[in-house]
Each structure stands twice: as C-alpha cells, then as structure tokens.
Amino acid sequence: DAGVIQSPRHEVTEMGQEVTLRCKPISGHDYLFWYRQTMMRGLELLIYFNNNVPIDDSGMPEDRFSAKMPNASFSTLKIQPSEPRDSAVYFCASMGTGELFFGEGSRLTVL
Amino acid sequence: DQQVKQNSPSLSVQEGRISILNCDYTNSMFDYFLWYKKYPAEGPTFLISISSIKDKNEDGRFTVFLNKSAKHLSLHIVPSQPGDSAVYFCAASKRTGKLIFGQGTTLQVKP
C-alpha cells in the first residue's frame, strides 16, 4: 500500500483565495483525521471522520474551514477565504485498528 | 485547553546517553498513549504505545513509562543515536479514535 497520500505537498497563495487540500487514506481504514501542525499547539486535531461521517469538528478554527469525505478513499479540507494565519503544515491521517498513519503533509503559505 | 502537554520544546543529549522525553495529560479518561516521531518534511510515524493497564512498555531501545496517578508518561531512548534526532510527539486517546497530541519535543543527539 502506498500509504496516506496528500496533495499538494506545497501551496503558496494570496490572502482571500480558496485553498483545497486533498487526502487519500489507506484502503480499508475506517477513520480519517485532519491535523494542523503549529509551533504553539503541536499537532492540532481539526476534524475526524468515521466511515465517511464527520464525528468531531470541534477543532475546526472557524467557518472559513470545511472538510468533506464523499467516499472512503477521498477527503478534502477547504479554506475559504484563506488568511496569513492559516499558514501551517496540514496533515491527513488514517486509522484502521491501532495507530494512526500520517501522510507527508501539505505545507500552506498564505501571503 | 491543552489536554496533552510537552513542556520541553527541545532536548539535547550526547550519543550513547539516555534521552528522556516527558509528557503530561489532564484528562483521566485517556486510556491509550502513544509516541510519534517526526523527521523534517515527513509525516509523523508511530513509535511505541502503552495501554493504561500497564505502567511500562519496551521495544528495543525505546521504553515508555506511564504514571497514571501523576498523569505523566515518559519515553526513554537508550542508547541515543544521532538518527534519533527528530521531533517527538506524545498522544493520548480514549479509544474513540480521536488522538490528542502534545506540542512536540525536538530531540538532538550529538555525535
């Protein structure tokens, strides 16, 4: 298995633009998580899904952030409009039983 | 509210010596704890875990200790090697699938 696949690996955009981050979890994993890495809070959980259903989105910073999982093999995290303070590395992770497997992350820079 | 805390942002040790990374948590409902290791430009990878029914789990050079009464866990690396230099994240879960991470500790092992 190729592991958790995220795209893009890097994105630079201007404030106000829409950003869409994508994730393909490991096949057969029932859970999918979106995390954001910041210096202050480390790996901050934004939202997670179980069997494509959002279970807990209490970590989503504000209404500018939204996430979807239309099927078991794909999820998106969208920021609209983006702001400079959204600049961070965003990780997707999936889990079957046991530990999380992370993607390599999407580094977002909002100018 | 940071439920999982790693109060030391960085740690430097000499090759061959012991590295001790610490983690505190506030939620007594957590019953599963994990350590993840992260190299630059890569996603975190699972290192070792411990269930709340144990107080120690060992895997090669890595040992995790859990003190439930103090709500504290630690990761010991003996002997430390330069390849161990990375960011280490502590994480906790209530077995609901939701992993809460700490801020991370950057370990540098000097040759």
pLDDT in tens, A56-75: 999 998 899 999 999 999 99
**How many CB contacts within 8 angstroms connect chain A with chain B?**
55
DSSP string across B60-108: TTEEEEEETTTTEEEEEESS--GGG-EEEEEEEE-SSS-EEE---EEEE
Instruction: Tell me what pLDDT residue A106 has.
Output: 97
- Phi, psi at residue A53, to the nearest 5°? -100, 130
Which chain B residues have any C-beta within 8 angstroms of a chain A C-beta? Answer: 2, 6, 34, 36, 41-46, 49, 89, 91, 97-104
Instruction: Tell me what pLDDT residue A96 has.
Output: 85
**Contact status of A49 with chain B (Cβ, < 8 Å):** no
Instruction: Tell me what pLDDT residue A31 has.
Output: 93
Considering only CB atoms, B46 lies closest to which of A33, A91, A99, namely A99
User: In the predicted model, is pLDDT for residue A1 greater than 80?
Assistant: no
Task: Report CB contact under 8 Å: B43, A93.
Answer: yes
Q: What is the mean pLDDT of residues A91-106?
A: 91
Q: Among A34-48, A76-90, B57-71, where is mean pLDDT lowest?
A: A34-48
- Distance from C-alpha of A110 to C-alpha of B11, rounded to nearest angstrom: 31
User: In the predicted model, is pLDDT for residue A110 greater than 90?
Assistant: yes
Considering only CB atoms, B46 lies closest to which of A48, A50, A100, namely A100
Task: Report CB contact under 8 Å: A105, B43.
Answer: yes
pLDDT in tens, B22-54: 999 999 999 999 999 999 989 999 999 999 999
Q: What is the mean pLDDT of residues A35-61?
A: 91
Instruction: Tell me what pLDDT residue A98 has.
Output: 74
- pLDDT band of residue B94 (cuts 50, 70, 90) is confident
Task: Report CB contact under 8 Å: B101, A104.
Answer: no
Structure token digits, residue B21: 């990374």
CB contacts of B44 in chain A (<8 Å) are 43, 91, 100, 102
Chain B residue with CA closest to A40: the answer is: B103
Task: Report CB contact under 8 Å: A104, B42.
Answer: yes
The C-alpha R_g of chain B, in whole angstroms, comes to: 13
Ranges of beta strands (E only) in chain A are 5-7, 10-13, 19-24, 31-38, 42-50, 53-56, 65-71, 74-79, 88-95, 101-102, 106-110
Instruction: Tell me what pLDDT residue A28 has.
Output: 92
Helix (H) or strand (E) holding B37: strand B32-38
Chain A residue with CA closest to B6: the answer is: A42
pLDDT in tens, A2-30: 799 999 999 999 999 999 999 999 999 99
Instruction: Tell me what pLDDT residue B59 has.
Output: 96
Task: Report CB contact under 8 Å: B103, A33.
Answer: no
**Contact status of A56 with chain B (Cβ, < 8 Å):** yes
Minimal C-alpha gap between B92 and chain A (Å): 11
Instruction: Tell me what pLDDT residue B96 has.
Output: 64
